[in-house]
Structure 1
Amino acid sequence: MRYDLTTIGEGQIRLTCERGERLATARSLRMTAAGSEANVAGLLSELGRSTAWTTKLPRGELADRIALEYSAVGVDMSHVVMTDEGRVALYFLEPGEFPLPGKVTYDREYTPFRSIVPEEFDWDALLDTRLVFLTGITAALTPETARVVRYAADAARDRGVDVALDVNFRSLLWDGEQARAVLEPIARGASILFCSRTDAGIVFGVPGQGVDVCRNLREEIGAPTVVSTDGRAGTYLSTASEGERVYEIKSVPVIDRPGAGDSFVAGTLHGWLDGDVSRGIEIGTKVASLALTHHGDLTHVRPAELLQAQGSDIVR
């Protein structure tokens, strides 16, 4: 296989307010590249995997910024579709400070990615991979993007390529009923499914608490491996062959939250690709905590850092 993982999703620019600022009154914004699927591919590349990400972008400096961010860590960007029309998707983040929660404002209308069709992409190259990674975020954008996500899943299965799906429900993009109609057929054919405890109820109507939700979701959907996060309560794994496991989550100081979930998925898939999803969850938990320590959606982690003890001392 040419790649370990390929994926498709919209490239974005994230503009973040400084701590203590609101968007309406902010005088400066921190600019970083973003995109859930690209974040997963990027971290896996840093961990030594061969990855490719495709999207559709308008030519210009903002698109160049996105391409530079992910190609710099080794993601193959050669399958990105470029166009002379449209604009780059943006999202704005107010980080929030307790008791005020963080807030995201999307500015994603009229981008070329929203009207993509399957015929625009090189599926022979993108399906020359061990694993295709898809998300509910991309499926939620428009009927056209949902169709491409479904096409990618079906084409992968037709060629015997494994599919990983991260439900990643966003209430600002669609409701639970809409999400279920699109995502359930993909989830039923996935080799590994990521779905939080909350999303399991909203999207699939699966009730329960703790690890029971993970098991119930696996039995309902039929995916052989289901990974379910539950905030600070822990992470749950349910497999058809080995049953259920619970993983502890340790709280860490947060500098920048977006991208931590993508880092967890990437770390878990890193282990899954080696045939050890349990070890993958341990890696994912560690890189997710490291993701919270620095700015940007893309987590920068060297493989050797996974072996270091966590702490505040300086490595000399």
Structure 2
Amino acid sequence: MPKVVTFGELMLRLSPPGYLRFVQTDSFSATFGGSEANVAVTLAQFGLDVSFITKLPSHEIGQLAVNSMRRYGVDTSHILRDGSRIGVFYLEKGASQRGSKVIYDRENSAIALAKADEFNWEEIFMDAEWFHFSGISPALGDNMANLCRIACKKANSLGIPISCDLNYRKKLWTREQAHKVMTELMEYVDVCIANEEDAEDVFGIKPKHGLASAGVIDKESYQEVARMLVDRFGLKLAAITLRRSFSATHNQWSSILYNGKEFIHSKSYDIHLVDRVGGGDSFSGALLYGILEKFELSKALDFATAASCLQQTIEGDFNLISFDEVLSLVEGNTFGRVNR
């Protein structure tokens, strides 16, 4: 069974019930999430051996965060326990023409202040066959950018393939900062995953036609974006998720994969969203699953797109969809009928 290592921040997510706004609510539901943690849960749900690496406080909320990963079969044995706080994000779910809103409270979290010598990467990567991180982690500050660089160098020296979801977050750093740091890290990356805006935000690579923010997706233009990513950084694969937003609760979801020779397009799905946060992470996790299980690339892409489609129909960041449910959708069961 392939072993995967993911590295990043696990955060406490606080959300008003239903579609209440922040200024309306008098209570918050508490769950956990974070890009690389979400990928780890996806892989564990599909039966792979996956280890999530982070640093969390040793108090009870830190333990609750660790438990949130353990309950879904993720190895937490290398999580460091120290520091005073866990990162928090507040999520207000949008509806119709009102978009969702995220407020971060993650400055000086335990992982953001972690030191380079705290992680034994030789031990962490023992028997590992893949390493995954995202652009959110180095955006947390110089410490985390350095830690990502150290981890990538060690994985590379051990011959471990590396994937990165660009995941640009404008509330964490500027485009100039992202360009500088991510360009250095891409030296080590084999598989790059991005949404329809990430490549432009981080590397200035943009489609000739189509504007995602205006709800226009031109797939041929995004083929060119994928090609430029592969050519610029010598990647083995570049994958781009394409979200056409008719409203905050009605999206069209598809993806493109390029291997340096051919472009592969996924099936397209109309989604009436329940919770879109974590959708891209479930795509990343399911794509890595397909690659590690040696699916044909077209099957891996369809599997990843279907998994992430389904994830956006459940509450929370984590992908709690089974392999059989994904396979059923890939095979054409799109009607959502009661399964008796």
Give the whole-Å Cα distance in 2 for the aligned partners of 1:45 and 1:39: 10
Aligned residue among 313, 320, 335 for 1:300: 320
Amino acid at match of 1:250: Y
Give the whole-Å Cα distance in 1 for the aligned partners of 2:299 and 2:118: 37
Give the whole-Å Cα distance in 2 for the aligned partners of 1:295 and 1:80: 25
- The 5-angstrom pairing of residues 62-211 of structure 1 reads 62-83=61-82, 85-128=83-126, 129-208=128-207, 209-211=221-223
Give the whole-Å Cα distance in 2 for the aligned partners of 1:220 and 1:307: 34
Q: How far did 1:18 drift?
A: 2.5
- Say yes or no: does 1:55 pair with 2:61: no
Instruction: Please state whether the residue corresponding to 1:51 is helix, strand or coil.
Output: strand
- Say yes or no: does 1:279 pair with 2:278: no
Q: How far did 1:104 drift?
A: 0.2
Deviations, residues 81-132 of structure 1 (Å, cap 9, x unaligned): 001x411111000111122111100010221211112211121232121111
Give the whole-Å Cα distance in 1 for the aligned partners of 2:308 and 2:325: 13
Give the whole-Å Cα distance in 1 for the aligned partners of 2:89 and 2:338: 34
Instruction: Please state whether the residue corresponding to 2:274 is helix, strand or coil.
Output: coil
Q: How far did 1:50 drift?
A: 0.4
Moved more, 243-252 or 292-301: 243-252
Amino acid at match of 1:88: I
Matched residue, 2:235: 223
Kept in 1: contact 2:199–2:225 (CA 8 A): yes
Give the whole-Å Cα distance in 2 for the aligned partners of 1:249 and 1:91: 30
Kept in 1: contact 2:43–2:286 (CA 8 A): yes
Matched residue, 1:251: 270
Give the whole-Å Cα distance in 2 for the aligned partners of 1:166 and 1:245: 18
| Identical-residue share of aligned pairs (%) | 28
Deviations, residues 244-301 of structure 1 (Å, cap 9, x unaligned): 1222321111111111111011110111112333322211111111111211111112
Q: How far did 1:211 drift?
A: 1.3
Give the whole-Å Cα distance in 2 for the aligned partners of 1:3 and 1:174: 34
Give the whole-Å Cα distance in 2 for the aligned partners of 1:185 and 1:58: 30
TM-score, normalised with respect to structure 2: 0.88
Deviations, residues 106-160 of structure 1 (Å, cap 9, x unaligned): 0102212111122111212321211110110011001001100111111111111
Give the whole-Å Cα distance in 2 for the aligned partners of 1:195 and 1:292: 17
- Unpaired segments of 5 or more residues in structure 2? 208-220, 245-252
Give the whole-Å Cα distance in 2 for the aligned partners of 1:245 and 1:303: 22
- Unpaired segments of 5 or more residues in structure 1? none
Matched residue, 2:213: none
Q: How far did 1:65 drift?
A: 1.9
Amino acid at match of 1:104: V
Kept in 1: contact 2:265–2:298 (CA 8 A): no
Give the whole-Å Cα distance in 1 for the aligned partners of 2:52 and 2:90: 23
Q: How far did 1:3 drift?
A: 5.3
Give the whole-Å Cα distance in 2 for the aligned partners of 1:172 and 1:4: 33
Matched residue, 2:335: 311
Aligned residue among 245, 248, 256 for 1:236: 256
Q: Which 4+ residue blocks in structure 1 deviate beyond 3 angstroms?
A: none
TM-score, normalised with respect to structure 1: 0.94
